[in-house]
Chain A
Amino acid sequence: MRDDLLRFRYRYLPTHWFGELLEKKWTETAIPAIAFVLVVLASGALLPSFYTITALADTLRQGCEVGFVVLGLGIVIIVGGIDLSVGSIFALTNFAALMFMHVLGWPVWAAVPGTLVVGALLGLINGVLIGYLKLRAFLTTLITLIIFRSVYEILTLKYSTAIAMSLPDSDIWDVMGSGTLLGLPYIAWAFLLIAIGTHILLTRTRVGWHLMAVGGSRRSAYNSGLPVRSLVTLCYMGSGVFCAIGGLFFASRLATAGTNIGVGMEVVALTAAVLGGISLGGGRGSVAKATLGAGVVLLVSNGLTALAVPGGGTRMVLASILVAAAAIDVRWMKNRHRIINKAYVSPNFHEMPPAPDCRPGAKTVWAANDKLLQVSLIGLGQVEAPEDVILDQDDNLYTGTRHGDIVRFFAPDYKRMETFAHIGGQPLGMAFDKNWNLYVCVGGMGLYRVLPNGTVEMATVQTGRSVLAVRDDSRLRLADDLDIADDGRVFFSEATNRYDMHDWPVDGLEGRGNGRILCYDPRDGTTQTVLRGLIFANGISMHQDGESLFFAETWGCTVKRFWFDGPRKGAVETILEGLPGYPDNINLASDGNYWLALAGMRAPAYDLAMRMPGFRRRMANQVPQDEWLCPNINAGCVVKFSETGQILETLWDIDGVNHPLLTSMREHKGKLFLGGISNNRIGCYELKDADTTFSQYEHRWKKAS
């Protein structure tokens, strides 16, 4: 009953999507977005006139003015600095706009750029001081805050009467302040356009990436050759310009040069930026975050004002929000990776039929023996991690190593070795095509091809993205084993698309169908996914009928047959299930049956854990990885099975002396060559009564042609 519930839950609730969603950078914006929605709802409920058109338009006008300032400050923070002088620049540019329009009587087309230039110049002062003279941003902008403010006060004292006395005669200026387009004030449209532009600038252009890079790590950016000083200067200028835009609209709306304009604005803007999720440490933030933060702060302060909370109270609330947001940001930044990692691992309910008795002396074909004790060793200590082994028509032996090499041992004694090709990654399964090109699945890279002269070519590293994939699964993460159809199509398995090569035990812990089988067609270079949802898809071997293949699902402990051609095209049939161990590579035997490597054996305590996903999830969260339960891959065996799924023979190294782990075997001229991914040797076992002329790929391609 309990197991049924678990089975149901894990089959129909894709819990692993949660961790994948959390991995996306944009999910961080969700928190300020939720806060924004809550504040809007709360304002609507508490303030009776909140949703009226005039109130909304008014809120929007104020909001966008502050929004521009927050945008400017946000960029400065993203680049790793701070600009406290935004309020003073706002006031000064407001003054400049009024001066140009009211006193000097400039036309709008001159006054607007003029004001922006004033803003840019004020920003430039900050920028030069901080970028080129290397003064501390905090202190510098604190000082310019005071200086700009003083200048503003001196100027207003002199010109406020003149400003108040005259009114500019400009329709465009009036429309800027109070007109609407399609029901929205002009400033809202302007903000929308500029915000989108800034977003594109930051995320899609070279200069934007450079700015992000400087914010992420100034030293790395410098070492990479970025012009850090001019970028920093540029962003302070940008901040000045944004303040100027805000100041312009403010001037056109209120036409006032009062003494308290822009006072305390830096705190409001800072609160908005931090609340939106722009990290004070730099390198993290976006336009959306700045906008949402501005919205929340504005609505909160407006709401408090409307509820007749005194000004001190409002500032107190804002200050508390700032502190809380900064604290949360620091904690989140510190723990983000841990939280994502914890949420990412998502164990599944995985149940398997009981395993046959394999203990020594058991009355089954499975009974453990020590036949493999009699192997001769090839390349002991010379190869590391030979996952698969393969032999060519001259009996030379090829294997991959964890250094990313394909090494070749020369027949007949396999004492001499050379590096045949260097690919990188971890070479896994291998197969020869008709022209003796060696196709190799490389963990962490994809499917590669080594020509007989040792040239390495990339065959494919990606496939189409699945429709329902939260996480981009087009890139191959762990190509594992392959075989080649008569027409040259390469069928290869990808063990898991959720974890990298060396995290395969974590995939084992999940026990979900994260693997797939793909088909690469060398004739047109296309790659397609032909089978999905496989529990660690591993060994692949063509059936002799040329229209189907066998594949192994390692954690599923099954071997299945898949028809890729012919009348049964698309069908999947289970050949072996409830295996006592974890199946790895499959290869043809000389008598027409198939060899299968069991990389490890199922332990009852582990099987029990596989039926308790909650237990495994807690284990993944609480226990260090080194101590996690793991499939027992310190013991394994080689099995021969018939195409109907009958087990014919088992070969064991029960004490794990030479081959604690077996991932592959290849029969060649009366010998069985053994590979293991955690071994430092290749084994060679003399088969009794085997065809001593059998050479798998010679046999294959002779038959096919």
Chain B
Amino acid sequence: MINIGRKFLDRALGRGSASIAVPVMDGALHPNGKLDHAQIVAVDRSFDGLASDGNTLWITSGAKLFRLDGRSLVADIVFDEVITAIAASSDGRHLAVALGGSSIQVFERQQDRWRLAATMPELLQHPARHINGLCFDGDTTLLATDGSLARPYDEWCHDLLELGETGRVIRWRFADATAHAPTVIASGLKYAYGPLAVNGSVLYSESWRHRVRAIGENLELRDVTPELPAYPSRMSPATDGNIWLTCFIRRTQMVEFILKEREYCRRMISEVDPRYWMAPAFSTGDSFLEPIQRASVKQMGILKPWAPSRSYGLVIKVAPTGRLIQSIHSLADGKNHGITAAAENQGALYMVSRGAGRLLKIEL
């Protein structure tokens, strides 16, 4: 009864559970245009994941796995299915890929070739469907995030609008594949993304909750960064011991509001082409059928950088303790939006902008 009353009051006054407030981008998150000034290394609409062993940089594009060789990309392996996640071990001996969101394969380097070393056995009750992040934990263990049980990899936005909470974090000791089936170490997550092993604990993004959490050695959970103004995605280690955290979409009050409007979400999913939803996206402004918001009307031929936008570019450097250190942005008037992966390689930070379909590079 009290709960109903409180909910009613919250709705009437727009606070508590009905609040659509979004944390302010301030301090270390102060917006800048650095991402728009990044060097464009390569362009491909399907770029998605990045992996680095410190010397070599791999990048995925659809079913293809490229290696950055000097300034050009060389196709290393071509698969039958779309690569939805990639990881390289720090010693450069192993490479792991997730295919079609459901299967994981580990390759081992033999001279100049890659040999299939292990394939993850299927999880018994709920087979993986939406693997979007991989990470090696030592030489023998692989961590994976399975974003959603309800929707496949390219329907992440459906999962957001449906308030999905079926994400999982999976641990798999691949070196001894027959003896060790993969285990689920966290489940019921509001979209899991981008795992990272740090000092014995496993970090993962819970995107729809805008936070990064850590799983300790005894599977206890703790917050790393509790309230981000954007939706975190993948993570990779920085050479100075910190973490590069990419945010693939940004929170806005309008989207927070839409997510509370269940009927509108349902009807939009069933009646409107996903490209034209009023929902977060990797990129915006591609079609006149996309909805716009009032302050994003061009005035005198100019779109304001701080106009509300459904897409955004953001990479954050986070300390393992959760302190935000610095950030790289692309604002509403920029193009390099929808950053899904970042990796440090040979003194430079490489990033994938899915919105612009670009591999970007910033010298550190």
Which positions in A face B, CB cutoff 8 Å? 358-359, 368, 384, 505, 600-606, 608-609, 612, 615, 618-619, 621-635, 654, 656, 658, 660-661, 678-681
Which positions in B face A, CB cutoff 8 Å? 14, 18, 20, 252-254, 257, 261, 263-264, 267-268, 271-273, 276-278, 285, 287-301, 303, 308
Most buried by B among A608, A633, A656, A678: A608
B54 to chain A, nearest CB (A): 41
Alpha-carbon distance A679/B289, docked complex (angstroms): 21
Alpha-carbon distance A627/B253, docked complex (angstroms): 7
Taking A615-B261, A627-B253, A681-B301 as known contacts, 13 extra A-B pairs with beta carbons closer than 8 A to each other, sorted by chain A number, are: A505-B294, A603-B276, A603-B288, A604-B289, A605-B276, A618-B261, A622-B257, A625-B294, A628-B254, A632-B292, A635-B288, A678-B297, A678-B300
A612 to chain B, nearest CB (A): 6
The reply to whether B273 and A615 contact each other, CB–CB distance below 8 Å, is no
Alpha-carbon distance A631/B300, docked complex (angstroms): 18
Nearest residue, chain A, Cβ from B293: A627
Alpha-carbon distance A606/B14, docked complex (angstroms): 23
The reply to whether B291 and A632 contact each other, CB–CB distance below 8 Å, is yes
The reply to whether B288 and A601 contact each other, CB–CB distance below 8 Å, is yes
Contact of B293 among A629, A635, A658, A660 (CB under 8 A): A629
Alpha-carbon distance A358/B287, docked complex (angstroms): 10
Contact of B271 among A608, A627, A632 (CB under 8 A): A608
Write out the residue numbers on chain A whose beta carbons fall within 8 Å of the beta carbon of B273: 604
Write out the residue numbers on chain B whose beta carbons fall within 8 Å of the beta carbon of A656: 298
Write out the residue numbers on chain B whose beta carbons fall within 8 Å of the beta carbon of A680: 300-301
Q: Known A615-B261, A627-B252, A627-B308; judge A605-B277 contact (CB<8 A).
A: yes
The reply to whether A660 and B292 contact each other, CB–CB distance below 8 Å, is no
The reply to whether B301 and A608 contact each other, CB–CB distance below 8 Å, is no
The reply to whether A606 and B301 contact each other, CB–CB distance below 8 Å, is no
Write out the residue numbers on chain A whose beta carbons fall within 8 Å of the beta carbon of B257: 618-619, 622-623
The reply to whether A629 and B254 contact each other, CB–CB distance below 8 Å, is yes
Alpha-carbon distance A669/B181, docked complex (angstroms): 79
Contact of B297 among A368, A622, A630 (CB under 8 A): A630
Alpha-carbon distance A219/B300, docked complex (angstroms): 40
Write out the residue numbers on chain A whose beta carbons fall within 8 Å of the beta carbon of B254: 619, 623, 627-629
The reply to whether A627 and B294 contact each other, CB–CB distance below 8 Å, is yes
The reply to whether A359 and B300 contact each other, CB–CB distance below 8 Å, is no
Write out the residue numbers on chain B whose beta carbons fall within 8 Å of the beta carbon of A622: 14, 18, 20, 257
Nearest residue, chain B, Cβ from A606: B291
Write out the residue numbers on chain B whose beta carbons fall within 8 Å of the beta carbon of A618: 257, 261
Write out the residue numbers on chain B whose beta carbons fall within 8 Å of the beta carbon of A368: 288
Q: Known A606-B291, A623-B254, A632-B288; judge A612-B298 contact (CB<8 A).
A: no
Alpha-carbon distance A678/B303, docked complex (angstroms): 11
Alpha-carbon distance A630/B278, docked complex (angstroms): 11
Alpha-carbon distance A51/B59, docked complex (angstroms): 90
18 example contacts (A-B, Cβ-Cβ < 8 A) are as follows: A600-B288, A603-B276, A604-B271, A605-B268, A608-B267, A612-B267, A615-B261, A619-B257, A626-B295, A627-B253, A627-B293, A628-B293, A629-B291, A630-B294, A661-B298, A678-B297, A678-B298, A678-B299
B257 to chain A, nearest CB (A): 5
Alpha-carbon distance A464/B268, docked complex (angstroms): 43
The reply to whether A604 and B272 contact each other, CB–CB distance below 8 Å, is yes
The reply to whether A605 and B291 contact each other, CB–CB distance below 8 Å, is yes
Contact of B298 among A384, A615, A623, A634 (CB under 8 A): A634
Write out the residue numbers on chain A whose beta carbons fall within 8 Å of the beta carbon of B285: 634
B20 to chain A, nearest CB (A): 6
Rank and list the top 9 A-B pairs by shortest CB-CB distance, nearest first. A635-B288, A626-B295, A680-B300, A601-B288, A605-B291, A605-B278, A603-B291, A627-B254, A630-B294
Write out the residue numbers on chain B whose beta carbons fall within 8 Å of the beta carbon of A626: 293-295, 308
Nearest residue, chain A, Cβ from B19: A622
The reply to whether B276 and A604 contact each other, CB–CB distance below 8 Å, is yes
The reply to whether A384 and B300 contact each other, CB–CB distance below 8 Å, is yes
Alpha-carbon distance A631/B294, docked complex (angstroms): 8
Write out the residue numbers on chain B whose beta carbons fall within 8 Å of the beta carbon of A628: 254, 293-294
Alpha-carbon distance A632/B293, docked complex (angstroms): 8
B24 to chain A, nearest CB (A): 13
Write out the residue numbers on chain A whose beta carbons fall within 8 Å of the beta carbon of B290: 603, 605, 632
Alpha-carbon distance A391/B259, docked complex (angstroms): 50
Write out the residue numbers on chain B whose beta carbons fall within 8 Å of the beta carbon of A619: 254, 257
Alpha-carbon distance A626/B306, docked complex (angstroms): 10
Write out the residue numbers on chain B whose beta carbons fall within 8 Å of the beta carbon of A615: 261, 263-264
Write out the residue numbers on chain B whose beta carbons fall within 8 Å of the beta carbon of A658: 301
Alpha-carbon distance A626/B267, docked complex (angstroms): 24
Write out the residue numbers on chain B whose beta carbons fall within 8 Å of the beta carbon of A359: 287, 289
Write out the residue numbers on chain B whose beta carbons fall within 8 Å of the beta carbon of A600: 288
Write out the residue numbers on chain A whose beta carbons fall within 8 Å of the beta carbon of B268: 605, 608
Nearest residue, chain A, Cβ from B299: A678
Q: Known A629-B278, A660-B298, A660-B301; judge A612-B263 contact (CB<8 A).
A: yes
The reply to whether A608 and B272 contact each other, CB–CB distance below 8 Å, is yes
Write out the residue numbers on chain A whose beta carbons fall within 8 Å of the beta carbon of B291: 603, 605-606, 629-630, 632
Write out the residue numbers on chain B whose beta carbons fall within 8 Å of the beta carbon of A634: 285, 288, 292, 296-298, 303
Alpha-carbon distance A609/B267, docked complex (angstroms): 10
Alpha-carbon distance A258/B51, docked complex (angstroms): 97
Alpha-carbon distance A678/B300, docked complex (angstroms): 5
Write out the residue numbers on chain B whose beta carbons fall within 8 Å of the beta carbon of A605: 268, 272, 276-278, 290-291
The reply to whether A623 and B20 contact each other, CB–CB distance below 8 Å, is yes
Write out the residue numbers on chain B whose beta carbons fall within 8 Å of the beta carbon of A608: 264, 267-268, 271-272
Write out the residue numbers on chain A whose beta carbons fall within 8 Å of the beta carbon of B18: 622
Write out the residue numbers on chain B whose beta carbons fall within 8 Å of the beta carbon of A612: 263-264, 267
Alpha-carbon distance A597/B254, docked complex (angstroms): 30
Alpha-carbon distance A679/B306, docked complex (angstroms): 19
The reply to whether B300 and A679 contact each other, CB–CB distance below 8 Å, is yes
The reply to whether A633 and B301 contact each other, CB–CB distance below 8 Å, is no
Alpha-carbon distance A625/B307, docked complex (angstroms): 12
Nearest residue, chain B, Cβ from A615: B264
Alpha-carbon distance A415/B291, docked complex (angstroms): 37
Alpha-carbon distance A305/B276, docked complex (angstroms): 69
Write out the residue numbers on chain B whose beta carbons fall within 8 Å of the beta carbon of A627: 252-254, 293-295, 308
Most buried by B among A368, A615, A622, A660: A622
Write out the residue numbers on chain B whose beta carbons fall within 8 Å of the beta carbon of A629: 254, 278, 291-294
Q: Known A384-B300, A609-B264; judge A623-B288 contact (CB<8 A).
A: no
Write out the residue numbers on chain A whose beta carbons fall within 8 Å of the beta carbon of B252: 627
A427 to chain B, nearest CB (A): 17
Nearest residue, chain A, Cβ from B255: A627
The reply to whether B253 and A624 contact each other, CB–CB distance below 8 Å, is yes
B2 to chain A, nearest CB (A): 23
Nearest residue, chain B, Cβ from A628: B294
Write out the residue numbers on chain A whose beta carbons fall within 8 Å of the beta carbon of B261: 615, 618
Write out the residue numbers on chain B whose beta carbons fall within 8 Å of the beta carbon of A505: 294, 297
Nearest residue, chain A, Cβ from B279: A605
Alpha-carbon distance A632/B14, docked complex (angstroms): 27
Alpha-carbon distance A626/B254, docked complex (angstroms): 10
Alpha-carbon distance A604/B291, docked complex (angstroms): 7
Alpha-carbon distance A625/B295, docked complex (angstroms): 8
Write out the residue numbers on chain A whose beta carbons fall within 8 Å of the beta carbon of B277: 605
Most buried by B among A605, A635, A654, A660: A605
B157 to chain A, nearest CB (A): 13
Alpha-carbon distance A209/B334, docked complex (angstroms): 55
B343 to chain A, nearest CB (A): 33
Alpha-carbon distance A678/B296, docked complex (angstroms): 12
B258 to chain A, nearest CB (A): 9
Write out the residue numbers on chain A whose beta carbons fall within 8 Å of the beta carbon of B303: 634
Nearest residue, chain B, Cβ from A505: B294
Alpha-carbon distance A601/B290, docked complex (angstroms): 9
Write out the residue numbers on chain A whose beta carbons fall within 8 Å of the beta carbon of B298: 634, 656, 660-661, 678
Nearest residue, chain B, Cβ from A633: B297
Alpha-carbon distance A128/B268, docked complex (angstroms): 70
Alpha-carbon distance A635/B288, docked complex (angstroms): 6
The reply to whether B289 and A603 contact each other, CB–CB distance below 8 Å, is yes
Nearest residue, chain A, Cβ from B285: A634
